[in-house]
């Protein structure tokens, strides 16, 4: 399928390390949406890229998906991230007020590969990790692809609002594990059905490993390609430390361990050795 | 001229082994000149390819990181065919870090690297925090590291530097540095990550600001005992002040590791701040650190 190899790397679209600033912050359900300036990052962004941010008092960086970029605003180009406060770093980030300065590196990682032709695409995202699927949906629609979007979450508080995506998607399905909104169930429960109904040629998935794995498996059963955005802890996020092992099978059939932040985070779903992850 | 400069290494800022990716990933952050003239120590290269250890490989602790990455690298052959030529083309001054499970492997690595174009020097990793776990030649006594250095020195041209990288073990460091010097090391790098454990007890190495005072003590003691042996300070360097602490203690250069993982522009900033003023030879300019309040 799909070919946009090596974007964001090498000298074509080099990433930058800049001082960013929080220009807006908003609580949405269980998440905190931050709008940030980060000169040079929005301009280079492709759907599926992430940013690495510094957290006060911590050496390791925190990775965040880019949810949205605006080419211009009152603050110039901006990017949005969605933060779920869980540990020390995400709690610190979620508490940052407007005007706070944050060191940001990005855009990082391999983005989603886009199909050359106008094919049918199923996009499946769970929790905050559905964030990168929204800019992806826009790009796919620009290419004339039929986009079916599935947004899932354990409960309503952790469901990303799909309202804005309705412009880019032909259909939007909402799944919650507790049935608080939309259909009840998990991606694993519905994956085959979703792939069939969307008649997908390509399945894009972002979320916990179980979601990615079931989406990739359903794609394979239906003869579709899959692209999965894999999260593993990324101490630096920039490819420098080799601390983010992602076990894969290479194009040549040889088992390898690659860096999730540099050779991923988006990889072909049929290449991941899920049992070794 | 500092002792290291006369030995063919300008310094005073180098990229520490294992913290610069393959070099390529550092280039966007390396400043206006990119990698040109940058003293870059590669991650440790072994004869055969290594996949590295299981995750988590790196975890955060107060003041630093604990790592057990397991020396992932493509093996010497692949390194010579792909990564080294790229680094040389990019203009870096490449010091290849080597690690082996036997003395013979170290010698073999040195011999083959001596013929590879563009290798400015070698750094011999003889102080890894968990050699046994990593399957490396175990250095318990100073003569162990000295015999590795001697074996490497025999295979590597004498006009190019061989650096011995030692762990910052205060009780043994002077003895270790002296025996490596006598065995032919051009300089000693002090030190590696400090033997430590992950929160679950697994063996690893501690790096970052927390280890700086330990390595600094080692550098100071080695410099006092062996003033003619060039030393390179390594451990927790992240700003001008932490770099200057080593240089003031007698180090000829510093290496930056963990700080690059936090801010990939660290080396570019330190290089600019410590660049030799034109015509006056290498040395420190009394410039303020452009970012004294690093978050860490
Ligand atoms: C590519 C990528 C994109 C991400 N995007 C988002 C996002 O858009 N929104 C969001 O809220 N979170 C996102 N995450 C997860 C987020 O980076 C982690 O939850 C966060 O690093 C945990 O940090 P903490 O300080 O809150 O937790 P702590 O428990 O304090 O973290 C301790 C250490 O473990 C690491 N760590 C622990 N769990 C994870 C994990 N699941 N993934 C990665 N690192 C972990 C941390 O980086 C840190 O070094 C993403 C992770 C990756 C790899
Ligand atoms: C993720 C990581 C990987 C490392 N890999 C190597 C390596 O391959 N060879 C080596 O000699 N040292 C390696 N080190 C040690 C560093 O080069 C350095 O000596 C040590 O971390 C102390 O310096 P610092 O505090 O600036 O990081 C590694 C350190 C880290 C954090
Ligand atoms: S997180 Fe450091 S190399 Fe991927």
User: What pLDDT shows up at residue B5?
Assistant: 56
User: What pLDDT shows up at residue B296?
Assistant: 34
pTM higher than the cut 0.80: yes
Number of Cβ within 10 Å of residue B111's Cβ equals 14
Structural domains of chain B, ranges and CATH numbers in brackets: 3-295 (3.20.20.70)
Block mean pLDDT (10 aa), chain A, length 277:
36 81 97 98 97 97 98 96 97 98 98 97 98 97 97 96 86 96 96 97 98 98 98 98 97 95 98 97
Q: What's the CA gap between B223 and B221, in Å, rounded?
A: 5
Q: Report the residue from B52, B57, B260 with minimal CB separation from A240.
A: B260
Taking the Cβ of residue B132 and every Cβ of chain A, the question of whether any pair is shorter than 8 Å is answered with no
Most A CBs within 10 Å, among B17, B25, B78, to test the A interface: B25
Q: How many CB pairs under 8 A join A and B?
A: 110
Q: What's the CA gap between B180 and B224, in Å, rounded?
A: 16
Measured CA angle at B52 (ends B41, B146), to 5 deg: 50
A243 within ligand 3 shell (Cβ under 6 A)? yes
Q: Which ligand is nearest the CA of A237, by number?
A: 3
Query: Is A257 close to B265, i.e. CB distance below 8 A?
Result: no
User: What pLDDT shows up at residue B11?
Assistant: 75
* Per-residue pLDDT of chain B in tens (296 residues, 90 and over written 9): 455 555 566 679 999 999 999 999 999 999 999 999 999 999 999 999 999 999 999 999 999 999 999 999 999 999 999 999 999 999 999 999 999 999 999 999 999 999 999 999 999 999 888 888 888 999 888 899 999 999 999 999 999 999 999 999 999 999 999 999 999 999 999 999 999 999 999 999 999 999 999 999 999 999 999 999 999 999 999 999 999 999 999 999 999 999 999 999 999 999 999 986 543 444 443 333 434 333 33
Q: Report the residue from A105, A243, A262 with minimal CB separation from B69.
A: A243
User: What pLDDT shows up at residue B1?
Assistant: 42
Tokens of B139: 């250095």
User: What pLDDT shows up at residue A8?
Assistant: 36
A88 within ligand 1 shell (Cβ under 6 A)? yes
B266 within ligand 2 shell (Cβ under 6 A)? no
Bond prior to B56 in cis (omega within 30° of 0): yes
Please tell me the distance between residue A187's alpha carbon and the centre of ligand 1 in angstroms: 22
Query: Is A17 close to B264, i.e. CB distance below 8 A?
Result: yes
Handedness of CA A65, A67, A73, A75 (dihedral sign): negative
The protein residue whose alpha carbon is closest to atom 12 in ligand 2 is B17
Q: Report the residue from A9, A55, A238 with minimal CB separation from B264.
A: A238
**What is the predicted ipTM?**
0.93
């Amino acid at each position: 399928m799909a070919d946009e190899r090596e974007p964001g790397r090498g000298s074509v679209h080099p990433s930058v390390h800049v001082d960013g600033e929080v220009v807006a912050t908003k609580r949405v359900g269980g998440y905190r949406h931050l709008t940030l300036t980060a000169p040079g990052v929005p301009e280079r962004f492709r759907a599926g890229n992430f940013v690495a941010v510094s957290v006060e008092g911590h050496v390791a960086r925190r990775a965040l998906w880019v949810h949205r970029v605006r080419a211009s605003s009152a603050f110039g180009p901006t990017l949005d991230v969605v933060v779920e406060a869980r540990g020390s770093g995400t709690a610190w980030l979620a508490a940052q007020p407007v005007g706070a300065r944050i060191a940001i590196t990005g855009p990082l990682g391999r983005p989603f590969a886009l199909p050359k032709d106008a094919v049918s695409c199923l996009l499946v995202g769970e929790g905050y990790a559905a964030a990168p699927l929204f800019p992806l949906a826009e790009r796919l629609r620009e290419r004339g692809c039929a986009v079916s979007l599935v947004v899932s979450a354990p409960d309503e508080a952790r469901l990303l609002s799909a309202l804005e995506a309705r412009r880019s998607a032909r259909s939007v399905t909402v799944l919650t594990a507790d049935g608080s909104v939309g259909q009840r169930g998990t991606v694993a429960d519905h994956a085959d059905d979703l792939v069939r109904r969307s008649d997908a040629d390509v399945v894009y998935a972002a979320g916990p490993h179980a979601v990615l794995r079931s989406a990739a498996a359903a794609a394979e059963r239906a003869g579709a390609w899959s692209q999965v955005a894999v999260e593993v802890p990324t101490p630096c996020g920039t490819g420098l430390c080799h601390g983010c092992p992602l076990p894969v099978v290479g194009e040549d059939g040889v088992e390898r361990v690659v860096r999730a932040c540099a050779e991923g985070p988006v990889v072909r779903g049929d290449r991941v050795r899920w049992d070794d992850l | 001229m500092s002792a290291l400069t006369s030995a063919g290494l300008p310094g005073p800022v180098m990229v520490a082994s294992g913290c610069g990716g393959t070099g390529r990933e550092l280039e966007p952050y390396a400043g206006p000149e990119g990698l040109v003239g940058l003293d870059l120590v590669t991650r440790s290269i072994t004869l055969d390819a290594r996949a590295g250890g299981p995750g988590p490989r790196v975890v955060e602790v107060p003041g630093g990181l604990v790592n057990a990455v397991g020396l992932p690298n493509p093996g010497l052959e692949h390194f010579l065919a792909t990564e080294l030529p790229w680094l040389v083309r990019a203009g870096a001054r490449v010091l290849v870090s080597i690690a082996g499970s036997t003395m013979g492997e170290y010698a073999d690595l040195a011999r083959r690297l001596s013929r590879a174009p563009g290798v400015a020097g070698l750094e011999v990793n003889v102080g890894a925090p968990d050699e046994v776990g990593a399957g490396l030649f175990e250095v318990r006594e100073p003569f162990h590291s000295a015999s590795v250095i001697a074996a490497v020195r025999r295979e590597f041209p004498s006009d190019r530097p061989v650096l011995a990288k030692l762990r910052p073990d205060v009780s043994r460091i002077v003895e270790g540095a002296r025996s490596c010097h006598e065995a032919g090391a051009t300089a000693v790098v002090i030190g590696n990550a400090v033997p430590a454990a992950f929160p679950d007890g697994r063996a690893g190495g501690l790096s970052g600001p927390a280890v700086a005072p330990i390595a600094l003590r080692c550098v100071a003691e080695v410099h006092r005992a062996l003033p003619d042996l060039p030393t390179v300070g390594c451990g927790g360097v992240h700003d001008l002040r932490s770099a200057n602490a080593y240089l003031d203690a007698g180090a000829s250069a510093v290496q930056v590791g963990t700080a690059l993982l936090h801010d990939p522009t660290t080396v570019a900033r330190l290089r600019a701040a410590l660049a030799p003023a034109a015509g006056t030879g290498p040395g420190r300019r009394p410039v303020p650190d452009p970012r004294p309040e690093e978050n860490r």
